[in-house]
Amino acid sequence: MIDIEQIRRQPEDFKDAIAAKGIPLNLEELLQIDEQRRTVSREVNRLREQRNRITELVATNPDNRHVYIAESKAVGQELAGREAELRTVESEYARLMGLVPSIPCDGTPAGVTDEDNLEIRRVGEPARRTFKQRDHIELATIHGMADFEGARQAAGSRAYALVGNGALLELAVLRFAFDRLLAKGFIPVLPPLLVNSAAMFGTGYFPLGEDNAYELERDKLFLTGTSEVGLVSMHMSQTLELADLPKRYIGISPCFRREAGAAGRDTKGLYRVHQFQKVEQVVFCENDPATSEKEHFLLLQNAEEILQALQLPYRVVAVCSGEMGLGQVRKHDIETWMPSRGAYCETHSCSSFHDFQARRLGIRYRDGRRKQFIHTLNNTAIASPRILIALLENHQNADGSINVPAALQQYLGGRALLEPV
């Protein structure tokens, strides 16, 4: 949760953040509930102290025992009512507090949709080809890389299966990104894919993200949409040591998203699917905005280096406030050029949360004698199959063959070219 003391000190800043991020929350209602909670809590404490004093009198004044017992019952009845009221108020307080967003960092572009994102830079130039370019669906088909119809028979819309070189190419991309970050000292993690609601809430995916999560109702568990959830939550309720920071992890896992709100859009191909694989960077660092900012841009640089090694044109954008999540204070997206779409499309997302996730999950570190909430960050290293769209389309030749970037050749048996089958 956001620190309530900070909300009391900066109500206007939080009102601005609520409006900018489009959060369904009335801050005045929260502040009223907060005041009511404190008032009722004081009354509950007063009644508990009064009951305790009467209990002592019962033991020390046997002659008036019946009088004190009657008083104790009366106070107990009033206390029970107040405690029930406090539980109701605290439940509503917790619900509203769960909706309070982090305040975006200075310099965050104002805006509502991704069209309001601010372009920072472009790297690489889209190829100018004289031949008619194929889209990734046609390329995958003539290479026997994907089975769309068979997969949909088994799993419904947005399903796909990678076959042959398609499967090998995805594994090559994932392993390349994974190995590159291992070489930089990141700690590898295969995190849990099924998590409880505390993990989803703690990382900021609940509330407001329930529609996009697959739930196993019987077990009260959820399939994660990123390895970040299971990885960050593994440190729930822990206290780390300052000397061990920063902790840099690389998680790899299948990911699952309902794509709620995307009905009718991108139903064909590999762009918007329910199941995908992702290599995710996650960092825990000390509670210092300057340190957090430095780590943010290091994560962003890692992702850019991967795309450069894959010889893919891309651009970096600063994400506007309206496109930021509940807990994000700073966010950059990387959009990779996809010829068939005629656009740069999101393939990576780099986010800083400051202590938003740590407060929800109770993750602290010991700095001398005091404990502080940690700062968390994450960024995509690579996500497939979406990145396969860019790889196939940007590296195609007139005859339908596909050039393999040098960075991937060692993972594909040394092959520099993939031929149609």
Is 257 noted as a catalytic residue in this protein? yes
Q: Are strands 221-223 and 194-195 parallel, antiparallel or unpaired?
A: antiparallel
Cβ atoms within 10 A of the Cβ of 183, count? 8
The per-residue pLDDT for 57 is: 85
Q: For domain 114-418, give the fold.
A: BirA Bifunctional Protein; domain 2 (3.30.930)
Active-site pick, 227, 335, 386, 393: 386
Single out the catalytic residue among 349, 351, 352, 384: 349
CA 111 from centroid of its chain's CA atoms: 21
Of the residues 257, 359, 360, 364, which is catalytic? 257
Q: Which of 48, 258, 272, 315 is catalytic?
A: 272
- Any catalytic annotation for residue 415? no
Using CA atoms, how far apart are residues 56 and 61, in angstroms rounded to an integer?
8
**Rounded CA separation 389/344 (Å):** 12
Contact partners, residue 301, CB within 8 Å, separation at least 6: none
Which pLDDT belongs to residue 108?
Answer: 98
Q: Are strands 364-367 and 239-241 parallel, antiparallel or unpaired?
A: parallel
Single out the residue of 418, 417, 181, 168 nearest to residue 309, CA to CA.
Answer: 181
pLDDT of residue 419: 97
Q: Is 152 a catalytic residue?
A: no
State the pLDDT at residue 63: 75
30: tokens are 């929260």
CB atoms within 10 A of CB 213: 20
Is 227 catalytic? The answer is no
Whether a cis peptide bond, with omega within 30° of 0, leads into 192 is no
- CATH annotation of 4-97: 1.10.287.40
Domain residue limits, the chain: 4-97, 114-418
Q: Is the pTM of this model over 0.75?
A: yes
Residue 157 a catalytic site member: no
| pLDDT averaged over 10-residue windows placed end to end, the chain, 421 residues | 95 98 98 98 95 86 81 92 97 98 97 97 96 97 96 94 98 98 98 98 96 96 97 98 97 94 80 96 98 98 98 98 98 98 97 98 95 98 98 98 98 98 89
Distance set, CA 366 to CA 1, 292, 371 (Å): 20, 17, 5
Four-CA torsion 110, 115, 121, 126, nearest 10 degrees: 180
210, 346, 366, 415: which one is catalytic?
346
**What is the per-residue pLDDT for 260?**
78
Residues facing 345 on adjacent strands: 336
